[in-house]
Chain A
Amino acid sequence: MKLVSSAEKAVIKKDFGEVWNTKMARTTLILVPAVLVVAIPALFLLMIYLVPTSQMNGVDKMMELLPPEIKYYTQRQAMYYFLTNYLCPMLFLMIPMMNSTVSAACSFVGEKERSTMETLLLTPLSVKQIFRAKVYGCLLISFLSSMISFVVFTIVVSAGDILLKMPFFFNWNWLVLVVLFAPALTIFGVIFMVLVSGRSKSYMESIQTSGYIVLPVVLLFIGQFTGLFQLDALLLFFISVGVLAADAVLLLIASHSFTPEKLLR
């Protein structure tokens, strides 16, 4: 059995073009990853590499947060470890969240805003097929963008690892993050936007609501800095499973609320 019909493929292809041709969506898809996985890590790397250690304040306190095996790291290495394992995961997760919400807003709310949803609903495609094609399209854009971002991020961070003579940054935390948590958040972002699309009147309005899903993730990672908890691979795994379970429930709700009457309201 085919995963998607040729008609659904046409919708996915059209959505790809539409997202790419929307200036704000295109800018977000390019600029957000460029800043989060290239500019910020590179800037921090330069600072860590160039600033004399005597001028670094609070490094001792920060080192207390790090796992025991890091104790033998130099100050620069510890700083870089902190960057790649505490700050960068949060920055990296912004990408699937932002990209999924932006592409879904463009695909769902944008279509409604431009009055093309009605035309699409008048095709012989069922509402479920349209829903599926659009969700697949948004997921594909977000996954693709996240994957490319991660490859670029790996190159940037590896340069720092080489420069500071550190082991390769990729560990169990990153594995769970890339394979489970990021996809779970991508799905969450798309479904969240589908649910919002019924109420949002404009693309911009829907984009603003994406802040609601970014905030909890930021708080989760920033919470580590208080020293109250550490996000290890196991905890990240359970959180990811929890998000995936929420995705399944929300997907069910979203697919039921995706009706012509609600979409054309």
Chain B
Amino acid sequence: MDAIYAEHLFKTYDNVNYALSDLSLSIPQGTVFGFLGPNGAGKTTTVKILTGLLRQTSGECTVYGYSPSQNPCDVHRVSGVMTESAKMYGQLTGMENLVFFAQTIGMEPDACAQRAGELLKQLDLWDARDKKLSEYSTGMAQRLSLARALIHRPPVLFLDEPTSGLDPESAQSVNEMISSLAAVAGTTVFLCTHQLRYAQDICSSYGIIDSGKLLACGDFQTLCDGAGCHIKAGFRLAEGEQLEGYEQKDGWWQTELLKEEEMPLLLQKIVEDRHNVYEARLIRPTLEEVYFQYLEHQEATT
């Protein structure tokens, strides 16, 4: 069973413009799925439909087998959701906030406090546990929201920009936490983010969305193949030397490879041709390159 499944999802607010257009997704359990797209692409609308806050105009979707429109409570029981627009209570302390949300899940009072304490320590908020949320910094409030989403150990997590507003150190620790949740607890993570470098580090598959349409979906290699981004061989030679058929970029002579196994032969040939090779390396495409490739292609076709 897929942890998150969507088939031909459409959403319109005015019957004219579509916030989502024919979105289909199939995310297996334990996947960290990076959902990428510019502002207004439809990421938040997708999360809101998958979490039962919005109803799709047409199409089907399930989270852990539950339909968000038919059984939103069951969906909320198996999922933790952290979005930028879902705030917590400013007049309650960090601890009180977590205990309150644990109580709404039906946890016993002792278990609520214990679990809240665990998460506050894990997210480096223990010292601020008795401070009112209104006194928290943006980053602290963000981490508390993540703690809220994790309070009932959900098997599915929807995270909308979980590291925005965090300093690099906190962002790294949150990313490590997400990765470990997927690796150790088998948690499925649906991660909406603009931070493509972090996404590449922690996601095992991706979806790229723009103007409500899913442009690409799959693991990084699938995305690279679809965008025509290939691995490259790069050589830094002595000054004044040239390689025919190669393009020069930032002091490196580069050429595309079909597979990385071609590299040793290529290097051997260059050395045999009496070039002075100072450095040789494989240049892999980044998620950022692949992402912009898809968006540019989308812009060109519309």
Contact = CB atoms under 8 A, between A and B. Distances in A.
Interface of A: 5-7, 10-11, 14, 17-18, 21, 114-116, 118-127, 260-261, 264
A260 B104 contact: no
A198 B55 CA distance: 17
B52 interface: yes
B106 interface: yes
A261 B55 contact: yes
B86 A122 contact: yes
Contact of A264 (B53, B91, B103): B53
26 contacts: A5-B106, A6-B103, A7-B103, A7-B105, A7-B106, A10-B100, A10-B104, A114-B90, A116-B89, A118-B83, A118-B86, A118-B87, A119-B148, A120-B104, A122-B76, A123-B76, A123-B104, A124-B73, A124-B76, A124-B106, A126-B73, A127-B72, A260-B52, A260-B53, A260-B54, A264-B54
B51 interface: yes
Contacts of B89: 14, 18, 114, 116
B85 interface: yes
A7 B89 CA distance: 16
B105 A116 contact: no
B297 interface: no
Nearest to B99: A10
B108 to A, nearest CB: 9
Interface residues of B, number: 27
A127 B73 CA distance: 9
A106 to B, nearest CB: 11
Interface of chain B: mostly helix, strand, loop or mixed: loop
Contacts of B53: 118, 121-122, 260-261, 264
Interface string B67-96: 000001110110001010111111110000
B91 A123 contact: no
B198 interface: no
B104 A7 contact: yes
Contacts of A261: 53-55
Contacts of B74: 124
Nearest to B54: A261
B81 A17 contact: no
Interface string B118-129: 000000000000
A122 B51 contact: yes
Contacts of A260: 52-54, 72
A10 B101 CA distance: 9
A114 B101 contact: no
Contact of B105 (A121, A124, A127): A124
B87 A116 contact: yes
A14 B86 contact: no
A116 B86 CA distance: 6
Contacts of B90: 114
Nearest to B103: A10
Instruction: List 10 tightest A-B contacts by C-beta distance, closest first.
Output: A10-B103, A123-B104, A119-B86, A115-B87, A118-B86, A21-B91, A124-B77, A124-B76, A7-B104, A122-B81
A119 B87 contact: yes
A118 B103 CA distance: 17
B153 to A, nearest CB: 13
Nearest to A9: B103
Contact of A11 (B52, B83, B104, B106): B104
A126 B101 CA distance: 14
Interface centre among B88, B101, B103 (most CB of A within 10 A): B103
Given A118-B83, A122-B81, A260-B72, 6 more contacts: A7-B106, A17-B92, A114-B87, A114-B90, A120-B104, A127-B72
